[in-house]
Chain A
Amino acid sequence: MTIKLGVPSKGRLMEKTFDWFGARGVSMARTGSDREYAGAVEGVEGVELVLLSAGEIPRELAAGRIHLGVTGTDLVREKLGQWEQQVEELALLGFGHADLIIAVPNCWVDVDTLDDLDAAASAFRAEHGFRMRIATKYHRLVREYLMDAGVADYQLVDSQGATEGTVKNLTAEGVADITSTGDTLRANHLKILSDALVLQSQATLFRSRKAQMDDEERAVMQALKVKLGLSSGRV
């Protein structure tokens, strides 16, 4: 039997993940044609590579359909309630760094903090008759963060892509999104609130607490952890 390792199926995240494992003596590669989502693992026996969309990896871990998975901390915390009870963080991989932040137009010279955002939201609602809209795909994280901070009179609107453009398109007044360099925000005339860092995320190797393992698979898991330097080898 094998243990299943879920890895993002494309892009820099996949390449960097392959590099990270490669540097530890576990080589991974996609097999077949460029378009076929199949892969191979060498350097350790009994590990099967499952190529998945990074956004689906939290769900697959929680369901126990994969034993290990590489994805961002942001996605795990957004998608899994009480995430610590569903998955275990085995290793921070040191790439895919991104901050979940809240940004508003540069021209809002009166707004720099959550305190300002809250006051502006109140005035906005009185003026326009609806709550200030913040576009995001991280509904749970942003809502919990703003609720905890006591911000009122806002609403979250769903945006699964091109979120920074929503303000100019008049479908939102502000955004809550992942940023690494801030270039896209600047290009879209947005600035980050100085005291509103919702979450710092990076690519992380997670272990499912829900996936079943037999003795053989437990041995494979242990061997892999030793190889990756995550366990001393003592059981």
Chain B
Amino acid sequence: MPRKAKIRARAAGLKAMFEAEGARSVETNVLQPADLLLDLYGEDIRGRAYVTSDTLLGEQMLRPDFTVPVVQMHMEHGAEPARYTYAGQVFRRQEDDIDRDNEYTQVGYEVFERDNPAAADAEVFDVIRKALRGAELKASTGDIGVLMAAVQGLETTERRKAALMRHVWRPRRFRALMDRFSGRSPVPATRKALLENPAPMENDFPQIGLRSASEIEARIGWLREDAEAAPLSSGQVELIEALLNVRETMPFALEQLRDIAVDMPAITEAVFRLKDRIDALAARGVDVDNLDFETSYGRTSMEYYDGFVFGFHAPGRPDLPPVATGGRYDALTRALGQGREIPAVGGVIRPGLLLELEGAL
């Protein structure tokens, strides 16, 4: 059987499993409006997705994933709760690695469910796990929600917290902001000069562009406020670092996070959510004692995940991307729901990688 036909057959088999779990089969267009994806992900998406255009509809993107169109479909006319499955091609630019596929098949399972997020997290993980049965894979999990809760609970200004929240998915800038707010990195000379200038807006520069004088003035005001604010304490910085360094099997990770929560009560709720998730996974027969948890797992890859995240990797094959990935994306439903939202969690499998690992391609 040709390669593509084998992948298609395997995808159909996986999708049938998901349908047997109660998921409704859905389809989406390959061409997606670019403006929506750009608005969600920003310019970075152009580095990952193929953009094409015509003179009537303007820019379109070749579907980089199914999640966004499926969420849109659900937000427009979905009943609750809902389970969806799909199978089809996605397209990703691979300009830095010729060996990675730029077109591959994904089979997904998505759950939109309000009542019991821990159970829904565990369900998606377990359904994906069962579909992968037979393949030698190692699972990793994480939860970006713990870090988000910690940032919200920092003893500092709201503006600093908002700046950190904005960069939760960009570790380098997050770190630079922590250093700045805690006084670890020096204030740049130009910033210092600006703050020392009693009337920086009195200058001879012509006011050009859309960013108005009042916007510039407002930001100077914030910078002055920020210079007045007490630095983030080293204790708080260390707690965030300790949190990000948690990398253990689930029960030990839970224990470490509980210890951190003693000094950082803001994460208590998030730690309870982790506890509930571990219980829900165990109730489904998942061996949680040997399941890895890493607070910052998946932190750099997908901006829309805001809670539980997971991946299944082939041990000893660091050259291969994860065979399956998934996570919770409540914030995405908020962004696409125009005022409405619904907790949602899902995952995808790449049948092509599965077949490759089995030596069947």
Contact = CB atoms under 8 A, between A and B. Distances in A.
Contacts of A120: 211, 219
B219 A123 contact: yes
Interface string A21-45: 0000000000000000000000000
Given A81-B95, A124-B215, A113 B190 contact: yes
Interface string B203-238: 101111111010110111001000000000000000
B4 interface: no
B335 interface: no
Interface stretch (A11-19, A68-76, A145-153, A202-210): A145-153
Which secondary structure characterizes the binding site on chain B? Answer: helix
Contacts of B166: 122, 152-153
Interface residues of B, number: 40
Contacts of B207: 105, 107
Contacts of B167: 150, 152
A152 to B, nearest CB: 6
Contact of A109 (B44, B201, B209): B201
Interface stretch (A46-54, A167-175, A215-223): A167-175
Interface residues of A, number: 43
Contacts of A113: 188, 190-191
Interface string B162-178: 01001100101110100
B47 A109 contact: no
A99 interface: no
A67 B256 CA distance: 60
Interface string A130-167: 01100000011001101111111111100000000001
Determine which residue in B188, B208, B209 has the highest number of CB atoms from chain A within 10 A of its CB, and name it: B209
B176 A109 contact: no
Contact of B194 (A109, A140, A173): A109
B98 interface: yes
B38 interface: yes
A107 B47 contact: no
Contact of A168 (B173, B180, B209): B209
A113 B180 CA distance: 13
Given A150-B173, A154-B42, A82 B220 contact: no
30 contacts: A81-B95, A82-B96, A82-B98, A105-B207, A105-B208, A105-B209, A105-B211, A107-B208, A109-B203, A109-B216, A115-B176, A115-B188, A118-B173, A120-B211, A122-B166, A123-B215, A123-B218, A140-B47, A147-B43, A147-B44, A148-B172, A152-B166, A152-B167, A154-B43, A155-B43, A156-B46, A167-B208, A168-B208, A170-B210, A189-B205
Interface of A: 81-82, 105-110, 112-113, 115-116, 118-120, 122-124, 127-128, 131-132, 139-140, 143-144, 146-156, 167-168, 170, 173, 189, 194
